[in-house]
Chains A and B, each alone.
Chain A
Amino acid sequence: MAINVKNVQKFFIINGRKIEVLHDINFSIGDGQIISIVGTSGCGKSTLLKVIAGLEQSTSGSVELNGKKIDHPSEKDIGVIFQEPRLLPWSSVEKNIEFGISQTLSKSEKKKIIREHVDLVGLTGFEKALPKQLSGGMQQRVSIARSLINRPNTLLLDEPFGALDAFTKINMQKEVLHIWEKEKTTLILVTHDIDEAIFMGDKIVVLSAKPGTVKKVISVELPRPRDRTSDDFARVRRLVYEQFFPKEELAVEYNI
């Protein structure tokens, strides 16, 4: 599903003062593409994602999904994976995944797809566990399964691996790419991790802060699966770093 972000502008009113959070944001995402949105904290990247999800209204401009304006959440077209797992603490893994289902299905159909998704995120055997009995990584996998169960055409990920340790993070990135290859879902990934942005994205949208504006769009033309240690990867990394840090600073770091 192609998504067009057109002239999106967003104001917040904080203590009676109008503050511009997003300024004239424009970019587009092709069907089945992965877009990484990177920026420093407070640059409005999560707000932008919420506007795309239909959870927040832009002050002006629009987000279009296949030419149709998005102005409210649509669970069938767009799935959201948040920074925190946001599981219902009183519900088991199974019930939490079931919470994601939006179609009307028979009991046995529900049971079947829940089991498939428990397997997909590698939580077989933990169906009856409560969120408090799971590690942070496992909880986030439950939340991923919950969003995938509707088979949304577009998946929005708001720093979904931010709270995970480095190893779990890399595994989860691979898992999400795996699912993407299978389902050909369009992915929009918000992150402050430059390596993650390059590892995942076909395109990287660099946002600058106060107000959030698109500073640069960088295409990542590396073959998949990508190798974080390759020279090409380093070249792209350098390109992205330059957007955030002045060149002199970088040169000093590289000379050491």
Chain B
Amino acid sequence: MAVHNIFRVKALFKNLFLALVLPLLIIILWQIASDRGLIKPSIFASPETITVSFDQMVEKGSYFKHVTASLGRVIYGYIIGSMLGLVLGSLAVLFKTFGKMVDPLIGILRPIPAIACIPFFILWLGIGEASKIGVIVIGAFWPVLLNTMQGIRSADPKLLELAKAFGKTRKIMLCKIILPSAVPAIFTGLRLGISGAWTCVVAAEMIAASAGVGYLISYGRELAQPGTLFVGIISIAIIGLIIDILVIKIQKKTLYWVDQED
């Protein structure tokens, strides 16, 4: 076992190293190009400037205010949006009549990007929290809804026939076959939903907000502070990555029966 663990730790370090090589290289080249005056510091803040801006924001405490503001909205909107998607998606497949009623509606509404609804939400709900959360709800809703529907439809007909041969009731079929079959697709939906929610919060905050990562970016542009602007952009990337890693970890635990890549 011990030997096995040593190999695993070694492999982990090797993978970490390989993953970091290119980002580090880009940062170094970026810094050199800034120092040599090859790129305009008033637009492309150098890594050094970005770090300084970041330090200042952390010191003032404003950085965490912005991040928690965005995260709070995402969590709020994501929970509402994904729950709605999950429930409506299940009902639309399990109850054929209901499904036939909502199918055309889904077809019409789905192509509208959540971001296109931001002005309408501001008009309707004002520039407070409600309008931002409304947009996130929509951003999370669609991927969860569509993947839930697809997942519930994907139950293996051979397993359903098996349940029939064993004289199982519809309720048992639902709990033991249809819902577990849908879990992998639902997870795909939840994963797309969280990234949709994260995109929406940034967009909504850029248009109307007084705090949040999106606000940070548009504030940086308005005051011509490229350092602040880049802190915002990089934060989006890193928080998005952390969320995705967390979701994948949960997915691996939940989908224990599916063969997954490491």
Contacts and interface: CB of A to CB of B under 8 A. Distances in A.
Contacts of B256: 90, 130
B162 interface: yes
Nearest to B258: A89
B158 A86 contact: yes
Contact of A55 (B161, B177, B257, B259): B161
Contacts of A74: 167
Contact of B165 (A73, A84, A90, A131): A73
Given A82-B162, A86-B159, A73 B259 contact: no
A98 B161 CA distance: 17
Interface in A53-86: 53, 55, 73-76, 80, 82, 84, 86
Contacts of B162: 80, 82, 86
B180 A102 contact: no
B243 to A, nearest CB: 26
Contacts of A73: 164-167
B257 A80 contact: no
Interface residues of A, number: 19
Contacts, number: 41
A132 B259 CA distance: 8
A12 interface: no
Interface string B153-191: 000001101101111000000001100100100000000
Nearest to A102: B167
Contacts of B259: 132
Given A82-B158, A132-B259, A88 B164 contact: no
A256 to B, nearest CB: 42
A102 B165 CA distance: 11
A89 B159 CA distance: 10
A53 B165 CA distance: 7
Contacts of A80: 162, 165
A99 B176 contact: yes
A55 B164 contact: yes
B166 A99 contact: yes
A12 B15 CA distance: 57
A186 B257 CA distance: 35
Contacts of A99: 166, 176
Please give me the 9 A-B residue pairs with the lowest Cβ-Cβ distance, nearest first: A75-B167, A90-B257, A80-B165, A86-B162, A89-B257, A90-B180, A75-B166, A73-B165, A73-B167
12 contacts: A53-B165, A55-B164, A73-B166, A80-B165, A82-B158, A89-B257, A89-B258, A90-B180, A99-B166, A102-B166, A102-B167, A130-B257
